[in-house]
Amino acid sequence: MATHCDQKTCGFTVYKGVLVQWDEDEDQRILLFIDNLPANIRKELAIAQEHEAALALRWKHHIPTGYEEYVNFEVGKKRNGYDVWFVSSSEILRSSKPYLVTNQ
């Protein structure tokens, strides 16, 4: 997903079952975005990243209605004001089958 940031520097977090891929400014509002997802939508989301108000989303089995490319979301808190983010990419993972990694 990210090509603008060395992931050794930016890193990842698993938050409420979603892999968050950070960019260089580590905008914590991506966590608010995930918090505000309905439970049935959140359980389908595998990976999320925000970069300069653009959301990249990867889904486990299907892209839910309302989360397609170019959809806008207000993100933030009432007291601090909202920003508008848009979905720049929304795709289904190529393989969402669970697998077990073992030491061999």
What are the CA-CA distances from residue 34 to residues 1, 8, 9, 47, 48 (Å)?
18, 23, 23, 10, 8
- Rounded to two decimals, the pTM is 0.82
Residue 24 is predicted with a pLDDT of 86
Give the residue with greater pLDDT, 15 vs 8: 15
Task: Report residue 31's pLDDT band, with 50, 70 and 90 as the boundaries.
Answer: very high
Pairing of β 72-77 and β 81-92: antiparallel
